[in-house]
Amino acid sequence: MKKVLTIKLLLVLAIAVTAVGCKRSSSSNSSRATGWDINSKEGGFQYNTSFKGQEAAPGLVFVEGGTFTMGRVQDDVMHDWNNTPNQQHVQSFYMDETEVTNLMYLEYLDWIKRIYPPSEQNFKAIYDGVVPDTLVWRNRLGYNEVMTENYLRHPGYAEYPVVGVSWIQAVEFANWRSDRVNEANLEAAGYIQRDAKLNEVSANATFNTDTYINAPSQVYGGNTALTDPENTRRRVQTNAAGDPINVNATRETGIIQPKYRLPTEAEWEYAAIALTSLRDYNTYRGRKKYPWDGQYTRSGKRKIRGDQMANFKQGKGDYGGIAGWSDDGADITNQVKSYAPNDFGLYDMAGNVAEWVADVYRPIIDDEFSDFNYYRGNVYTKNEINEDGTVRIVTPDEIKFDTLPNGKVVARNLPGEIHQVPVDENETYLRTNFDTSDNRNFRDGDRRSSRDYRDGDFDEIDGDSEKGTHTSKMYNSPSHSVETDSTGQLIREYDRSSKRTSLINDEARVYKGGSWKDREYWLDPAQRRYFPQNMATDYIGFRCAMSRVGSKSENKGKTKN
């Protein structure tokens, strides 16, 4: 009897030990640093331990990063030598499936017009500053008034790429898009009251992603009722003392997406050329001339043999071909998705419209200094802090307007955003990776780009550089000026100096890809050109990108052949 009882006790003990051991080993919410519980109902450290990976935000497709040869390796018939080949590595990211369309941009204009009514004098410049320049369609010796009057707003052009947008306007659209997508995500997750984005917003009460992260009580103009769990669909979580926790989403929740932005030049070129079809084990089997396979602009597939693969100018006076036969389907721009996508699933990466990218233009790509996520244009800023330690939020009375060299007035910040200031010595002291806020001119070829250069050699000469005299600057572009007189009228002055040495400056931005106005030569993704960031044309549009966080591949854990 005792033997049987002993066996039963040992069996119960073994089961208990096994259960405890299984519980400990299978727990995903136990810290490997301290052994404490993560996401405990009693409080403590909270973190999204069940995050499955970043999902593509609206309009985006995934581009898995890798190495590629950036620049042209074929003959340089233009002899500008501005894209010599260099090896670069690009991290995984997301990119818009198509160019931003008129319909997408009109949604932006509608939101701006509702929140900042142009009928109010304080807001008029905000709306005027984001409206595309429809006059880009005019031609001194051509009749294009139908596009001037209809291209942006008529439903017949709804799914055509937006044009007449400057680089500055494209950046502001991406910022607006980031806030609207994150606002919708937080509403869907129950952190924001349902339909607050439609019914509760005004110039004094808007949502901004950075403000929500740094000062959640200040979004919507401080209307905390819109983020109060009692007014949202989220179950109120409390700690052991009964105090609510996890009221607002943080980056640790994984709900807040990275920002939409313009792609870098390296990202755009990598995504456009889409070398995946030429991959053979760990090497590329050749080089593609276009985003599609082959050396020609016409398709070789049996069903569509002879069809053009992109929308471009085929010759002098030939913008589409012979009607009904070799026509490429468009004389100006064409509806997005009218041509086959490349191997990443991206449409119109050659032809239709050229596209703004984020980079400041320089003739060189300094791969000796950086061959990882190359980008020229970093200007580092930080949140402005009040005396009480809180972030300083922009109010409707603190909107900053800039008058651009062409006389156009644009808003540099909007109510609800956080004031930004340049980084200073607190961030740069004794750092080796950066030592200044503005890095656009770093190692761009002139003497001031050298780390060993001593100030003072050209001080007296440089003092007169704005007047067009001799300067040590390599990129000495014209400096036009716009001033306002006592009556508010703009006074435009041209820089008529004959001693300027360049058209390049810190406001010249790269644009990539050919357009409906360009010959076949410019369809090569390696081609690069530049244009002032404050100006617009009828052949430059844009698309947005977003950084990938987490794993390099969407198929993490799967065996690769």
**pLDDT tens sequence across 130-182:** 999 999 999 999 999 999 999 999 999 999 999 999 999 999 999 999 999 99
In the chain, how many H helices and how many E strands?
A: 10, 19
Q: 405, exposed or middle or buried, with CB in 10 Å at 0-12, 13-18, 19+?
A: middle
Range among 216-225, 231-240, 319-328, 407-416 rated most confident: 216-225
Which candidate, 149, 72, 102, places its Cα nearest to that of 353? Answer: 102
For residue 18, pLDDT over 60 is answered with no
Q: What is the pTM of this model?
A: 0.89
For the residues of 151-220, what is the DSSP string, one character each?
TTT-GGGTTSBP-S--HHHHHHHHHHHHHHHHHHHHHHTTSS-TTHHHHS-BTTB---HHHHHH-GGGGG
Query: Would you state the pLDDT for residue 205?
Result: 94
Query: Would you state the pLDDT for residue 23?
Result: 43
Rounded to an integer, what distance in angstroms lies between the CA atom of residue 491 and that of residue 430? 45
For residue 294, pLDDT over 90 is answered with no
Query: Would you state the pLDDT for residue 471?
Result: 53
Query: Would you state the pLDDT for residue 430?
Result: 93
- Work out the pLDDT band at 27, boundaries 50, 70, 90: very low
For residue 13, pLDDT over 70 is answered with no
Q: For 181-194, what is the mean pLDDT?
A: 95
**What is the separation, in whole angstroms, between the first and last Cα of the chain?**
62
For residue 557, pLDDT over 80 is answered with no
Rounded to an integer, what distance in angstroms lies between the CA atom of residue 429 and that of residue 528? 36
Rounded to an integer, what distance in angstroms lies between the CA atom of residue 134 and that of residue 132? 6
Query: Would you state the pLDDT for residue 275?
Result: 82
- pLDDT tens profile 334-350: 999 999 999 999 999 99
For residues 329 and 351, the answer to whether their CB atoms sit within 8 Å is no
- pLDDT tens profile 475-522: 888 888 888 777 767 788 888 888 887 888 899 999 999 999 999 989
Tell me the two tokens of residue 335: 């509806």
Query: Would you state the pLDDT for residue 180?
Result: 97
For residue 102, pLDDT over 70 is answered with yes
- Work out the pLDDT band at 26, boundaries 50, 70, 90: very low
Could you give the dihedral angle defined by the CA atoms of residues 160, 163, 167 and 169, in that order, rounded to the nearest 10 degrees?
-80
For residue 77, pLDDT over 80 is answered with no
Other CB atoms within 10 Å distance of the CB of residue 414: 22
Query: Would you state the pLDDT for residue 221?
Result: 93
Query: Would you state the pLDDT for residue 278?
Result: 65
For residues 174 and 261, the answer to whether their CB atoms sit within 8 Å is yes
Higher per-residue confidence, 293 vs 257? 257
Task: Describe the strand order of the beta sheet including 354-360 as a list of residue ranges.
Answer: 528-532, 508-512, 354-360, 540-541
- pLDDT tens profile 535-546: 999 999 999 999
CA-angle at 195, arms to 190 and 199, nearest 5°:
140
Query: Would you state the pLDDT for residue 16?
Result: 57
For residue 454, pLDDT over 60 is answered with no
For residues 414 and 399, the answer to whether their CB atoms sit within 8 Å is yes
Tell me the two tokens of residue 319: 């913008």
For residue 20, pLDDT over 70 is answered with no
For residue 73, pLDDT over 50 is answered with yes
Query: Would you state the pLDDT for residue 12?
Result: 60
Q: For 404-410, what is the mean pLDDT?
A: 83
Antiparallel, parallel or unpaired: β 354-360 and 540-541: parallel
Q: For 233-256, what is the mean pLDDT?
A: 84
Query: Would you state the pLDDT for residue 469?
Result: 43
Q: For 524-544, what is the mean pLDDT?
A: 95
For residue 204, pLDDT over 70 is answered with yes
For residue 420, pLDDT over 90 is answered with yes
- pLDDT tens profile 460-474: 344 444 444 445 567
Question: What's the Cα-to-Cα distance from 312 to each of 22, 121, 150, 322, 419, rounded to whole Å?
Answer: 65, 43, 22, 14, 43
Query: Would you state the pLDDT for residue 465?
Result: 43
For residue 459, pLDDT over 50 is answered with no
Rounded to an integer, what distance in angstroms lies between the CA atom of residue 271 and that of residue 253? 30
Domains within the chain, CATH numbers bracketed: 56-174+259-374+510-555 (3.90.1580.10)
Q: For 364-379, what is the mean pLDDT?
A: 94
Write down the mean pLDDT value for the chain.
Answer: 86
- DSSP state, 271? H
Query: Would you state the pLDDT for residue 320?
Result: 83
- pLDDT tens profile 34-55: 999 998 878 888 898 888 889 9
Distance of alpha carbon 350 from the chain centroid? 19
For residue 24, pLDDT over 60 is answered with no
Rounded to an integer, what distance in angstroms lies between the CA atom of residue 387 and that of residue 550? 36
Q: Three-state secondary structure along 385-443? A: ECCCCCECECCHHHCCEEECCCCCEEECCCCCCECEEECCHHHHCCCCCCCCCECCCCC
Contacts 24+ apart (CB under 8 A), 424-431: 427/380, 427/382
Query: Would you state the pLDDT for residue 406?
Result: 79
- Work out the pLDDT band at 327, boundaries 50, 70, 90: confident
For residues 202 and 219, the answer to whether their CB atoms sit within 8 Å is no
Rounded to an integer, what distance in angstroms lies between the CA atom of residue 136 and that of residue 215? 41
